[in-house]
Structure formats: structure tokens, C-alpha cells
């Protein structure tokens, strides 16, 4: 008699518990965080558990959504499937100009370079006249840089033969001499360099240094609805990124190992990338108006942005994160200025 009552009690408790947890789980908000398989500080933040306190504090779950390149990532955000995204500055700028989204950080610098076959005789982009150049499309971070490189030499896009391809395929095309040169993003650049069959023709900072002496690589942008509803979560996510960058600067080899596990690129390739300054990190991830205006102007000249497009930026979050992290534990200087 008593046993039955005990059992009933257990059953009731289990049911109640299940209902309670499911209700808690249902109330938990999922933050869909778009990423690409590159050396993004977001991966370091995730690997080191910097998102866990955020998840606990706000009762949210940060879920990474992987994309091969920027365009589908933006399409997902346009469809409302992403609340926050990390992508190349090309797609990022397009998104914050055309969608209800705001740029809150520029967390990777450089990240772009022009490659040629190892035995190519070309010494500068000015020699690209009449040549075939592989690139990842008009919406990429690489296209404006290529245009600037040509413009500096007095050339236009009509002076070269463009061929559109996937970012990771471009070093292979250059290696096979299917094209004369290629411009793509890191880590594909470093993968190509590591093979020993391609070399750099020009680094991005040699062409368009618009932030701390470097080209801008990767940006983080947030859906406006999310930003308005959770400015606090946004702040903490940006700070997590800056903390991750601090770790990268202090422990580059450990960071390379963590990235290798997350995105599948060999450790030595990532180490090469950082040593050669193909991807550069700085605690200062603030998207200043000056930087963005320069970049946007160029995109408008290249007809990627319409004259009426105006990228929305909010430097306040990154500024606060910089202050916090600098004032906190030991920081390590960037390896290159």
C-alpha cells in the first residue's frame, strides 16, 4: 500500500520535473551565430568556453551555423535565421547596408592576398593587365581590394579577365596555372602557400591599409531586432571575441591548435598564416566611421553598393570591450603593428 503510494509519488515528481525542464528549455532563447571555416576569434571564444557565462547569465544557447562563404550567410540572416554573423567585410558591409543589421566589430585584419604561381615572373599587380584572375565574386571582401590594386596601377576591371570561383578552389586554380593569378581569403591563402607551389604577389596592406595599417578582413554584425532587444548580450558577445583575440595574441601556438581542431586546417598552416601576417589580430576591433566610410566609398565606386546605401555601424560595443579587456588581465601586443 505504502509502496504504491511511494511509486506514485516518484512518478508524479518525474513528470513534474520533465514538464518543468521542458518549459525552461522552451523559454531558453537560441542565438544563431553564423560563422565560416576560417581563423575566426569566435571559434577560440567557443573552444575556451567564453560563451558559457553568457549562456548561463541570460539563459540562452549560442549555436554556431557554418557557411561556406558570405552570400548564403547573408541570405540566412535576411531570412531571419541568424541573429549574429561573422563574415568577410565585403558580405558584412553589404548586409549592414541592405538588411536591418548593424556592424559591431572588425575582428580579423588582412585576411586577403593576391597569389601567383611560384614561378611567375610578375612582381606587382600592375602586371596583371590582360591576365586571368580568379576571385570569389562581386560580393566578396576580395573584389574591392582587387579593384583598388588595379586602380593604383591605372587599370580597370576591363583590363583583366575575371573568373569567378569558390574561395578554397582559387589556390588550386593558381597552382594548376588554370589562371594567371588569384585573390582569395585566408586560410585558403595559407593552405596554398604551404603547398609551396604558389607565392604572394601582394598583401592586402600594401594595397588598401584602412585600419591600423592593415586591410579589414572579417566583421561581426548583428540583426537590429536582436540588438535592440538584447544590447547586453551583444556587448558580452563582442567582449568574448576581444578576450579570444587576447588569447590568440598571448598564445598563438595554442590558438592554432584549437582552430585546427575546430575548422580542420592543419596547425602548421595556421601558424604560417599568423607568422606571415596573412591574418592579423588586434584588440582594437572598433569599426570607426572613418574606416567604414573609406570602405563604403570604394564599394560604391565599384557599383557593389548603390549610392543610396549607408552601412549601419555601432562602435560603442567594441570600444567598451577594448576598455574592459585592456583594463583587465595581462594583454599581449599584436605581433605586427
Binding site for another protein (CB under 8 A): 70-71, 74-75, 78-79, 94-95, 98-100, 132, 134, 137-140, 162-165, 173, 178-179, 304
Give the nearer residue to another protein in terms of CB position, either 80 or 328.
Answer: 80
Crossing angle between the packed helical segments 267-275 and 188-195, to the nearest 10 degrees: 100
Least distance in Å: CB of 215 to another protein? 19
Query: Angle at Cα 201 formed by Cα 196 and Cα 202, nearest 5°?
Result: 125
Q: How many CB atoms lie within 10 A of CB 114?
A: 27
Bridge partners of 132, per DSSP, are: 161
Least distance in Å: CB of 97 to another protein? 8
Least distance in Å: CB of 333 to another protein? 37
Task: List the grid coordinates of 298.
Answer: 570604394
Least distance in Å: CB of 303 to another protein? 9
Give the nearer residue to another protein in terms of CB position, either 48 or 78.
Answer: 78
Give the nearer residue to another protein in terms of CB position, either 92 or 149.
Answer: 92
Give the nearer residue to another protein in terms of CB position, either 41 or 139.
Answer: 139
Least distance in Å: CB of 322 to another protein? 30
Q: Do the Cβ atoms of 313 and 102 come closer than 8 Å?
A: yes
Give the nearer residue to another protein in terms of CB position, either 157 or 250.
Answer: 157
Q: Do the Cβ atoms of 136 and 164 come closer than 8 Å?
A: yes
Helix (H) or strand (E) holding 12: helix 2-27
Q: Alpha helix (H) ranges present in the chain?
A: 2-27, 41-47, 52-58, 70-78, 89-98, 142-152, 170-175, 188-195, 204-207, 224-229, 231-250, 252-263, 267-275, 289-301, 316-327
Both ends of the chain: CA-CA distance in Å?
Answer: 78
Give the nearer residue to another protein in terms of CB position, either 168 or 252.
Answer: 168
Give the nearer residue to another protein in terms of CB position, either 58 or 163.
Answer: 163
Give the nearer residue to another protein in terms of CB position, either 71 or 84.
Answer: 71
Least distance in Å: CB of 181 to another protein? 13
DSSP per-residue letters across 167-199: GGGHHHHHHTTSSSEEEEETTHHHHHHHHTSEE
Q: Do the Cβ atoms of 119 and 269 come closer than 8 Å?
A: no
Torsion of CA 174, 117, 36, 314, to 10 degrees: -120
Task: List the grid coordinates of 336.
Answer: 605586427
Least distance in Å: CB of 74 to another protein? 6
Least distance in Å: CB of 180 to another protein? 11
Amino acid at each position: 500500500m505504502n509502496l504504491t503510494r511511494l511509486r506514485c509519488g516518484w512518478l508524479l515528481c518525474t513528470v513534474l520535473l520533465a514538464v518543468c525542464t521542458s518549459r525552461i528549455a522552451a523559454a531558453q532563447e537560441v542565438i544563431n551565430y553564423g560563422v565560416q571555416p576560417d581563423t575566426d576569434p569566435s571559434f577560440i571564444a567557443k573552444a575556451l568556453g567564453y560563451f558559457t557565462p553568457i549562456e548561463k547569465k541570460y539563459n540562452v544557447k549560442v549555436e554556431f551555423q557554418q557557411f561556406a562563404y558570405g552570400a548564403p550567410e547573408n541570405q540566412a540572416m535576411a531570412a531571419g535565421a541568424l541573429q549574429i554573423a561573422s563574415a568577410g567585410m565585403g558580405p558584412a558591409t553589404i548586409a549592414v547596408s541592405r538588411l536591418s543589421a548593424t556592424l559591431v566589430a572588425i575582428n580579423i585584419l588582412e585576411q586577403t592576398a593576391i597569389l601567383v604561381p611560384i614561378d611567375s615572373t610578375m612582381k606587382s599587380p600592375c602586371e596583371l593587365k590582360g591576365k586571368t584572375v580568379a576571385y570569389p565574386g562581386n560580393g566578396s571582401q576580395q573584389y574591392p581590394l582587387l579593384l583598388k590594386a588595379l586602380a593604383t596601377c591605372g587599370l580597370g576591371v576591363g583590363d583583366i579577365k575575371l573568373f569567378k570561383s569558390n574561395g578554397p578552389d582559387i589556390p588550386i586554380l593558381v597552382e594548376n596555372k588554370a589562371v594567371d593569378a588569384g585573390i582569395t581569403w585566408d586560410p585558403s591563402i595559407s593552405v596554398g602557400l604551404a603547398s609551396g607551389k604558389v607565392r604572394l604577389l601582394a598583401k592586402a596592406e600594401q594595397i588598401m591599409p584602412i585600419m591600423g595599417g592593415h586591410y579589414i578582413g572579417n566583421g561581426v554584425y548583428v540583426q537590429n531586432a536582436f540588438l535592440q532587444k538584447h544590447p547586453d548580450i551583444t556587448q558580452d558577445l563582442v567582449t568574448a571575441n576581444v578576450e579570444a583575440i587576447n588569447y590568440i595574441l598571448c598564445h598563438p601556438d595554442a590558438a592554432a591548435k584549437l582552430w585546427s581542431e575546430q575548422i580542420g586546417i592543419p596547425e602548421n598552416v595556421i601558424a604560417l598564416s599568423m607568422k606571415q601576417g596573412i591574418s592579423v589580430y588586434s584588440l582594437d576591433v572598433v569599426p570607426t566611421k572613418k574606416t567604414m566610410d573609406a570602405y563604403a566609398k570604394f564599394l560604391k565606386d565599384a557599383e557593389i553598393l548603390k549610392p543610396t546605401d549607408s552601412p549601419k555601424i555601432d562602435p560603442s560595443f567594441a570600444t567598451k570591450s577594448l576598455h574592459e579587456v585592456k583594463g583587465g588581465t595581462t594583454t599581449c601586443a599584436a605581433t605586427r603593428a
